[in-house]
Amino acid sequence: MKVPDYFKFFNKTRIVSGSKALENIPYELQSMDAVKPLVITDRATVNDGVIKTLISAYGDSGCVIGGVFDGVTTYASTKTAIDAAELYRARGCDSIIAAGGEAVASVARGLNLLVSYKTDDLLQFDTLPDTINLRPFIVIPTSDSTGLETSSMCEIDGRKYKSGELMPDIVIIDPRMLKKREKSQTVITALSAMARSIEACSESDANPLNDSFAFAAIQLISENISPAVKNIRSSKNRLALANGIAMSGIVFSNAPEGGCSELAVEVAKATGHSRLLCSTILLPCMLDYKLNNMKEGVRGELLLPLGGIDSYCATPESERGEMAVQSLKKLYAGMRRYIPLDFKSLIIPEYILDNAVSAVEAGFAKRYGKDACGRILESAYAGDLSTGGSEK
C-alpha cells in the first residue's frame, strides 16, 4: 500500500447500522445535548411511510420531534432552506434529521448554516472554514440516497458549499427505511457509489486511510448488488448495499475530484441524463484506458474488494490490475439487463458529446495524456471497452 509523503483524512461521522437502528436516535441526540429535532424530508419519503416509522421509534424516550418539513423537491433551492429555517425557529428546534436523498441532505445542510449563524443569507457562506459550529445533524439514508448525503459538500441553487463540518454527526442506517425501488435505480445508485470509491483510490495522491474506507465500500457493493436486485425484498443485502453507498460519501470527501467525475458532470450537462448514470457508464472505460495507456495503470489492490481474497491470492502481482478491471467488467455485464451501459443506447448523438470533451480536455490532457478524454468517451459511446483501452 502506497503512503504519500503528506496526506489529510477527516471524518466526523459515526455510523449506526442494523436492526432497530432508529431507536438509537434519542440517545444519540441527548449525547449532543439535543432533544427536539426538525425532520427534513420530501413527499415521496413521507408517502413511503418511513417517517411514521421514524416517529414511532421515539417511543417513550422523552424526546420529541419538533416538526416535519416535507417541502424538499428533487432540486435543492435557497428558498426551501429558508422556509425550513423558519419552521425550525418557530418550533424551537435544536437539531436536524435529514431523511431522504441528496437534495434533502443539501437543504438540511443549508438550513443548518442559516440557523447556526442566525441569518437568511446563504450567499455569505461562499467559502467555509474547516472548523465551524453547527447544530447536531443526523442523516437517515433511504432508497433515494446516493451516498453524497454523508459527504462534506452540498449544492443549493447550483452553488457548492464545502466543509468537513457539513458532514453529518451521525448516519442511521435502518433496513425499515430502505423501501424497495425500481431495480434500475438501485443499480445506478450502487454503481455510481462504486465509481466514486474506485476513482478515489485510483488517483496518484490516494492515502491509506481513505483507501480503507474505499475498499470497504467497493466490497460491500460488489458482493451485494447482484443479490439485492435479484431479490429486492432482501433486507440483509439492501442494508449491506446502503452501508457501502453511505461510505462512498466519506471517501468522496477525502479525495480530489477525479477525471471520471468531472467528465460525468459535463456529459450530464450536455445530454440531460443524470450524473450518476454518466459516471457509471464512464468508470470501466476510464479504468480500461488507464490500464493500457498509463504508466501507473490500475492498482493491483483493487482486485481484493472486486474479485475477493481467493482471486487476489491466485493472481500474480503484475496481473492484478488487469484482473481487477476484468472483475469489474464481469459485474457490469450482469447489470446490463437493468440499465444502459453505453451512451449510444441512450440515443445521444455523438456530436453532443464533443461539448463535454471540450469542457475538460485541458485537464485530461495534463493528467491522462493527449486525446484521452475523446478516446474514453468514444469507448463509452460504443460500449466497446477496447476502443478506450488500446492505442490507435
Question: In CATH, what number is assigned to the domain containing residue 264?
Answer: 1.20.1090.10
pLDDT score for 1: 65
Strands 95-100 and 37-42: parallel
| Residue after which a domain boundary falls, among 177, 194, 214 | 177
Its pTM stands at 0.93
Does residue 342 share a domain with residue 196? yes
Structurally, the chain folds into a number of domains equal to 2
Phi, psi of 134 (to 5 degrees): -120, 165
Burial of 235 (0-12, 13-18, 19+ CB in 10 A): middle
State the residue range of the domain holding 288: 183-389
Does residue 192 share a domain with residue 156? no
The Cα 97–Cα 67 span in angstroms is: 10
Query: Could you tell me which residues are beta bridge partners of residue 146?
Result: none
Compute mean pLDDT per 10 residues along the chain, 392 residues long, and list them: 81 96 95 96 93 90 91 96 98 97 97 96 87 94 95 94 96 92 91 95 82 96 94 87 97 90 92 94 93 84 95 95 94 93 90 86 84 91 60 38
pLDDT score for 369: 85
Strands 159-162 and 153-156: antiparallel
pLDDT score for 70: 97
Does residue 169 share a domain with residue 240? no
pLDDT score for 343: 93
| Residue after which a domain boundary falls, among 135, 156, 177 | 177
- Which secondary-structure segment (H or E) carries 258? none
Q: Tell me the chain's radius of gyration from C-alpha atoms.
A: 21
pLDDT score for 392: 37
Nearest to 26 by CA among 79, 95, 111, 76: 95
SS3 125: helix
Do the domain assignments include residue 1? no
